[in-house]
Amino acid sequence: MQRGTRTATYETSPNIALVKYWGVRDPARALPYNSSLSVTLERLRTRTRVEFVPGLDRDEFRLNGRPAAPAATAAVAGMLDRVRDAARVTDRARVVSRNNFQTASGLASSASGFAALAGAASAAAGLRLSPQRLSQLARFGSGSACRSIFGGFVEWRAGRRADGRDCYARPLYPPRHWPDLVDLVALVAAAPEKSVRSAVAMQASVETSPEYARRLAEVPGRLAGIHRAIARRDSAALFPLIMEECDSFRLVCETTRPSLDYLTATSREILTAVRDLNTDTGRPVAAYTHDAGAHVHVFTLGRHVRAVRARLRSIRGIERTLLLHAGTGGRRI
């Protein structure tokens, strides 16, 4: 079916996982081993326009005003192929994407990037996907992208079925559910570029980390606890669990062969500063977490931001901090 030029634009934000996705049980269907849970972040936005153009001989991809690298263009073409198959479209596409934040900075631009691409491409091709179906499409670009379809607090259910029908993201609570909760993102200077895609690194963990099986057994209980703490807006319950989960993820990375180390000395100092702050205060007033990158997200409540900032101020190598709340998810422009 060909019907001339078709265009759509879709915008969304990255998310930070409080329960990490790390390991795929079925690569062909992009099914994870464990469910994960994240917060979609405000202000950071990726906007992507997809235009199917009759007669174009190959897919084109511009990112932040420049032609993208071949590997990125190939990944985009992979998502477009999926959409073309489903919509029975054959035209190649022009894709233009912009982030209002640093790309590949460890701020999960692949999550917002593939969520925006899935949203724009499916709409441009005339597929009318529900947000749940859209999340099922987005995960084929980047697993964590499925959560960026929704705003606020989001769960990606791993599901049990072999066909993946019960594997999708769903919103748990809207962005305004807990206005007092903030994410102080410490952007670390000289954060190394990821040398291996997370999708590849996590499979190395599945295959070689002696800690992986234990982590997998622990995650459902931790996820339930984190969900409950968010439901009750209970930071005293939530913050230790966020750090426990981050430590479990990091231990699996460190015990992977070859070892995966995403942190810099500065990142490690931030983790220590948060632990010390909680010890000195006598209760959990903040929690750190990080993804497969060196930047550290420090969750705290509005009234503790000054105390957290004061602790971070003495650490060398923090380029700047961003104070973010939970934000809205994807929308067609």
Residues forming the site for ligand DP6 (CB under 6 A): 17, 20-22, 36, 110-111, 142-144, 197-199, 291-292
CB of 303 to ligand DP6, least distance (A): 28
Closer residue to ligand DP6, CB minimum distance, 20 or 304: 20
Closer residue to ligand DP6, CB minimum distance, 197 or 306: 197
CB of 16 to ligand DP6, least distance (A): 7
Q: How far is CA 202 from the centre of its chain?
A: 14
CB of 81 to ligand DP6, least distance (A): 17
- Contacts of residues 77-85 at CB distance under 8 Å and 24 or more positions apart, as own/partner, are 78/140, 78/141, 79/114, 79/117, 79/118, 79/121, 79/137, 79/140, 79/141, 80/50, 80/121, 82/137, 82/140, 83/118, 83/121, 83/122, 83/125, 83/127, 83/137, 84/125
- Among candidates 269, 268, 249, 274, which has minimal Cα distance to 260? 249
Residue 58, SS3?
coil
CB of 208 to ligand DP6, least distance (A): 17
3-state helix, strand, coil in the chain (%, to 5): 40, 25, 35
Closer residue to ligand DP6, CB minimum distance, 10 or 21: 21
Closer residue to ligand DP6, CB minimum distance, 32 or 91: 32
CB of 292 to ligand DP6, least distance (A): 4
Closer residue to ligand DP6, CB minimum distance, 79 or 181: 79
